[in-house]
Structure 1
């Protein structure tokens, strides 16, 4: 099969779940092109980008944010590409059909990379609802292929905020909507999606990258117990509550040697560092910045416990990764985190925004290192059974094939 992925930023260090699908499809012998809004030019990229030579099949919209530049560049694109398909280009500028998408020139920039390819794809797979909206417009322009959209986390929350209105056209024209969790499925129904079009398909991880290794108290680079978080530094990850929980743990347990290491970058970095200084945790909390997957694995192997204090989630991949290496985990009961953790057996769930509850669960694990090994084994088995990306990618191909067969029967 020939598959087009429509994404936002690419390659993005934190979106390994998308990269895992792309590389898995390539390994299974399928062709994949990636159509992205822009290149974020992050300092680090995942090694699989080079390993699979993915960038040679990436096409960017690269629409300028400055309106004047956008118009001038749009005129150049229009004149240099007009001979390829004048009908579809003029249609992309029709404000009576496409409204703001045409007026803003977004549709013109989006269609340019597809010129000459509009009949090439068996599947157009959009990652996140807003990219699905773009896919629906491209389908209306004449791009052929089964239209599939995977909803993740922020796009569901955006739909709830906008009361579902932003996805109505997508829900009508999409051939298949993939829900990664029960939380997503239930909210997609509320937002107006046709239940007959919704299929469960989880994100997953490459278990070969995350070797299982049980650890006990004292394992790691120091005698301190190391708590690790891997998350973007944004409000929904609830890192303020994790930091406050660490401060309270130290207040309640004098002499406890503790280190809290946070992997990730984001807009709240300055604010969170100020909180750390205010709480006197300068020597305890360490911000490590964004990391590639190999470095994340090494940090997980050095840690003793994993903490994810989110206030909003869909299906957190970092919890899969942590359990895959055998870390006992503590997370908040939001979204579908309960589908990733076996509460009381591979880790503990706590209410969101509840510092005392986080402290209680972390303290229990710290005081009972004898249960870490069993928690680690249980977590690893659970991830192997439910979130092995190799199995999930094979299931994704079957979904594609069934959709194609149903459409052309």
Structure 2
């Protein structure tokens, strides 16, 4: 099969679940194209994908410029050539439909729809798999012109929150034209049904984890330092000030704590000021963005993992943390309670509850080894990328 993955940007270090899914499809010998909205490939992040060079992901990325000549005269010339080449082709009817200004407005006027359709036809794309609802909604245009393709869309987190804010009608076309809508969690399934998605189109498919990549080589053991880790974007919805406060209180009882936060975002200065005000800059450190290998190395050398979010669906980072044998403290948002088997889940947006949860884990260090093994086994059995890839490919075929 030839599958086109439709994403905003590729790659993003915060979206390893998309990269791993694409790699799993490539590993099954299917042809893959990655369509991005941004006009430049993020080569700096591609270069950071240590260990994934053999998949040649950079050669599979097609920015919008490749599909759509920016200069008007080139656009018109290429348009004329394509029409002449297909004047007696069975595909001509699709090309003609892309010019329907009444139905497709700006995309028809600018010939964007024409050139994207040509790319799909020329390369014999059979399946479009969009990640995030808005991309799936955009991709329905090809179903409207009648292209013989299947359209699947995976909903994650922000796209669910977007519909909660604006209303489920923003996905009306997607719900009508999609062949399948992947839900990564029970929370998302409930939300999608509420928004009006047809029940028979909703397909359960969690994000997968490369468990072999995150496997801890040595058991979780006590050391002279208690190493605590968070991997998250530094944004308001991650509520990291709660985690920082809880760690500051824990340090009063356990002064050998070392807390590292990997990630970047607009809240960095605010969080750093909080750390400085607590006088804990030597023990609580913001490390900035890291690549997958660096994140994995931090996980397998830490003891506890904290997720203090006030909004999530199914945070893949918790799957990765448990695969790496970490004991978890997380807030009860989205489907977190269903996925955490190694650790404690507490009420969100509650600093006192998060602090109590952290202290309870620190007071029971003798339980860490068993908890670590329980979590890693659960992820291997239920969320391995191999298992999820096999399920995905079966959905494609059906």
TM-score after normalising by structure 1 = 0.88
What's the secondary structure of 2:286's corresponding residue? strand
The corresponding residue for 1:36 is 36
**How far has the Cα of 1:116 moved from its partner?**
4.4
Tell me how many residue pairs correspond in the alignment: 383
The corresponding residue for 2:11 is 11
Alignment map for 1:326-405 (pairs within 5 Å): 326-342=325-341, 346-402=342-398
What's the secondary structure of 2:11's corresponding residue? coil
Offset from partner CA, 1:11-42 (integer Å, 9 cap, x none) = 11121111111111111111111111123444
Cα distance between partner residues in 1 of 2:135 and 2:289: 25
Contact 1:231 1:262 in 2 (8 A): yes
Alignment map for 1:263-278 (pairs within 5 Å): 263-278=262-277
**How far has the Cα of 1:50 moved from its partner?**
2.4
List runs of 5+ in structure 2 lacking aligned partners.
Answer: 84-91
What's the secondary structure of 1:183's corresponding residue? helix
For the aligned residue pairs, the C-alpha RMSD in angstroms reads 2.2
Alignment map for 1:28-67 (pairs within 5 Å): 28-38=28-38, 39-43=41-45, 45-47=48-50, 49-62=52-65
1:96 to 99, 102, 107: 102
**How far has the Cα of 1:237 moved from its partner?**
1.6
Offset from partner CA, 1:173-194 (integer Å, 9 cap, x none) = 1111010000110000111100
2:76 to 76, 79, 86: 79
Distance 1:288 1:6, change over 3 A: same
List runs of 5+ in structure 1 lacking aligned partners.
Answer: 64-69, 403-409
What's the secondary structure of 2:70's corresponding residue? helix
**How far has the Cα of 1:48 moved from its partner?**
5.2
**How far has the Cα of 1:148 moved from its partner?**
0.5
What's the secondary structure of 1:117's corresponding residue? helix
**How far has the Cα of 1:60 moved from its partner?**
0.7
2:178 to 174, 178, 184: 174
Contact 2:117 2:142 in 1 (8 A): no
The corresponding residue for 1:66 is none
Alignment map for 1:8-407 (pairs within 5 Å): 8-38=8-38, 39-43=41-45, 45-47=48-50, 49-62=52-65, 73=70, 75-76=72-73, 78-86=75-83, 92=98, 94-99=100-105, 105=110, 108-109=111-112, 112-118=115-121, 120-212=124-216, 213-218=218-223, 223-251=224-252, 253=253, 256-342=255-341, 346-402=342-398
Offset from partner CA, 1:254-308 (integer Å, 9 cap, x none) = x622111011112222222122222222112111111111111111122111101
Contact 2:155 2:182 in 1 (8 A): yes
**How far has the Cα of 1:249 moved from its partner?**
2.1
Offset from partner CA, 1:110-159 (integer Å, 9 cap, x none) = 65355243271221111110110111013324443111011011011101
TM-score after normalising by structure 2 = 0.90
Moved more, 110-119 or 188-197: 110-119
What's the secondary structure of 2:210's corresponding residue? coil
**How far has the Cα of 1:248 moved from its partner?**
2.4
**How far has the Cα of 1:224 moved from its partner?**
2.5
Distance 1:248 1:35, change over 3 A: same
Cα distance between partner residues in 1 of 2:77 and 2:241: 51
